Structure 1
Amino acid sequence: DWEHIFGKLGVRWFHTGGIFAALSATTAELTVEAVKAANKHGTIVSYDLNYRPSLWKTIGGLAKAQEVNREIAKYVDVMIGNEEDFTASLGFEVKGVDHNISNIELDAFKAMIETAVKEFSNFKVAATTLRGVKTATVNDWSAILWHDGQFHESRKYPGLEILDRVGGGDSFASGVQFGFMEFNDAQKAVEYGAAHGALASTTPGDTSMATRKEVEKTMGGGGARVVR
């Protein structure tokens, strides 16, 4: 009941993403319905593009992914996704990226974000994690966030030892949400997101085990290890 959730209860922030939208033809329709309702009531909408070809292939493939995601994007305030997500889901190109997306120039990604926010002027924030995969267990990790015409880069976490990389993006998204809801500060948002995502990568499963205290310690240079 969107009217009850957004209208009467006054939910402040609604988050969903491309994995849910791709589960079936009806979840795609439901996602569009939800973001439209949230937008109507002034609820902040964040969306993690999270392009997964294996999910979209049964409901129309890349063309359907772009059709659905470009419709959803019209109602999104905070758009989250890496270079592959933006190119596949929204049709934007990143210059200087090979087809395997093994390496990316930060300036090229910034240029793509600037192009995206020109087309979707409703985007108030665009953010992504930056992962340099050295091996399956060692990644360089950081994040970048665009807000109000400026880019904000997080602390860098070079040589991050990965226990389970699943959930790093979700933890980044929730950290960004917390930073904005608690402080309304773009730099803090990208720092909370990057630190939370780093910590999630050092623990098993895709659900965060990190406390706020641990995230803030990591943000301050305490290292991406859980305090025991």
Structure 2
Amino acid sequence: MKVLSFGEILLRLASPGYTKLFQKDSLDATFCGGEANVAVSLAILGQESSFITKVPNNDVGRAAINSMRYFGVNTSKVIYGGGRLGTYYLEKGASQRPSKVIYDRAYSSIALAEPEEFDWDVILDGVEWFHWTGINPALSQNVADICRQACVIAKKKGITVSCDLNYRGNLWSSAEAQETMTKLMPYVDVCVANEEDAEKVLGIKAADTDVENGKLDRNGYKDVALQICGKYGCKYVAITLRQSYSASRNGWSGMLYDATKGETYFSKTYDIQVVDRVGGGDSFTAGLIYALSNGLENEYAINFAVAASCLKHTMEGDYNRSTVLDIEKLISSGGNGRVQR
């Protein structure tokens, strides 16, 4: 199945290892972005994956796109020109010190892009699955308008539309997110969220759940999924469930609700020693898209998505380099981490 992801690709500047930002005189440079991460993961999983964005027509913009081409992502529809490449600074947390992200993405090429630059009728020709996230409309009103145009055309063409709500408090307020996202949600077939997204973006709160203290109640999340499907007509809602014991150790699982069947599926829970958690949600989304688009059963689909994301947490950088075989072996082994030889 042909999957097209739309969003911003960023330059990631991370302090080496687990040092504080600028504790050392260097930063590790890689490329990333919520939607770009999904596109790369899907390509590595063997999916026919494409990515569209706008980047500056310079060495930095081209290097960002080439980082995706390396993994087999089709970038032929990328637009070049204007603005700059967005950047973010990352300080990875450890133990009780949380990870920290500082954005520097104002006036980026994609944020300044004009709706008329994207001919979605042509761009979406032959596409079977279209993915975007709630980060896009947070960048500018122009990008929000571009997202809406894409969703309208995708629905007319019968394309499955997925959205990871991806609330970013550093980009906009909860009130702003709800004002914009509630108008885009009726176009979404598959909604992905984490512990706080449903509340911050849609105003729907899970009962008996305390994200800060790592307390999760499964029945509360079932109710959240029912409300999202009932209000916006989504066919699936997937929720990642993170228990943050510390920055270094997380409990990680997920839930999938199938509105057509009216059934809920919970995955195995992994106890993860975190190497780099940024991009973990994107790897979950990619795993879910892969599983659902390839017709895998719901219970296996949510376990596949969670296992894919579990492996990403053990890797430096935003891109998940796990293959289908890696993920299947994790599922079959139960996560014992034994040497394979």
Normalising by structure 2, what TM-score? 0.61
Query: Within 5 A, what are the aligned runs for 1:57-206?
Result: 61-98=173-210, 100=212, 102-121=214-233, 123-147=234-258, 148=260, 149-157=262-270, 159-206=271-318
Q: Distance in 2 between matches of 1:199 and 1:224?
A: 12
With a CA cutoff of 8 Å and minimum separation of 6, indicate the structure with the bigger relative contact order.
2
Q: In the alignment, which of 54, 59, 71 is matched to residue 170 of structure 2? A: 54
Q: CA deviation at 1:101?
A: 6.7
Q: Distance in 2 between matches of 1:99 and 1:134?
A: 11
- 1:219 is paired with a residue of what secondary structure? helix
Q: Structure 2: any 5+ residue segments left out of the alignment?
A: 1-118
With over 3 angstroms needed to count, the CA separation of the structure-2 counterparts of 1:20 and 1:195, relative to structure 1, is same
Letter in 1 for 2:120: W
**How many equivalent residue pairs?**
220
- 1:83 is paired with a residue of what secondary structure? coil
Q: CA deviation at 1:11?
A: 0.3
The structure where helix makes up a greater share of residues is 1
Q: Distance in 2 between matches of 1:99 and 1:197?
A: 19
Q: Distance in 2 between matches of 1:78 and 1:192?
A: 16
Q: Distance in 1 between matches of 2:143 and 2:130?
A: 16
Q: Indicate conservation of the 8 Å contact 2:165/2:201, yes or no.
A: yes
Letter in 1 for 2:263: Q
The structure where strand makes up a greater share of residues is 2
With over 3 angstroms needed to count, the CA separation of the structure-2 counterparts of 1:227 and 1:72, relative to structure 1, is farther
Q: Distance in 2 between matches of 1:224 and 1:133?
A: 21
Q: CA deviation at 1:181?
A: 1.3
Q: Structure 1: any 5+ residue segments left out of the alignment?
A: none
Q: Percent identity?
A: 36
Q: Indicate conservation of the 8 Å contact 1:49/1:81, yes or no.
A: yes
- 1:10 is paired with a residue of what secondary structure? coil
Q: Distance in 1 between matches of 2:276 and 2:305?
A: 17
Q: Which has the larger radius of gyration?
A: 2
Q: Distance in 2 between matches of 1:221 and 1:35?
A: 40
Q: Distance in 1 between matches of 2:127 and 2:213?
A: 37
Q: Which moved more, 1:174-183 or 1:96-105?
A: 96-105
> Pairwise CA RMSD of aligned residues?
1.8
